[in-house]
Amino acid sequence: KQEVTQIPAALSVPEGENLVLNCSFTDSAIYNLQWFRQDPGKGLTSLLLIQSSQREQTSGRLNASLDKSSGRSTLYIAASQPGDSATYLCAVIIQGAQKLVFGQGTRLTINP
């Protein structure tokens, strides 16, 4: 059974800092991995999608890496801003399945 874990559960940093969010998964037979953002009371917004054959993806100040062999992914946020405050979720898609398996999320607070 695929399990996804995110560390830390919550993180508070001052504005301008670079930060890393961690995601680990137990079964390396994944199809791809996605990072989402969730604002309070809102649905999920996809940030980055990494195919299983890729090592990383970048979008603006965000960079996500994937190491399938070790079952790890990281989301790097550069020059953090108060608007980055949200819950960040990682999710994997298992090969042959049509569902996302989510971690429990990291609640990020950027202090002005």
4 binds another protein (CB under 8 A): yes
57 binds another protein (CB under 8 A): no
CB of 25 to another protein, least distance (A): 12
Beta pairing, strands 44-51 & 100-102 = unpaired
Q: Which is nearer to another protein, 71 or 103 (CB)?
A: 103
Per-residue binder mask for another protein (CB under 8 A), 68-97, x = binder: ---------------------x-x-x---x
60 binds another protein (CB under 8 A): no
Cα torsion through 41, 43, 47, 49, rounded to 10: 150
For tokens 């996804």, the residue is: 4
Q: Which of 37, 35, 28, 72 is nearest to 57 (CA)?
A: 35
Q: Which is nearer to another protein, 8 or 16 (CB)?
A: 8
Near another protein in 5-44, by CB under 8 A: 6, 31-32, 34, 41-44
Binding site for another protein (CB under 8 A): 4, 6, 31-32, 34, 41-46, 49, 89, 91, 93, 97-105
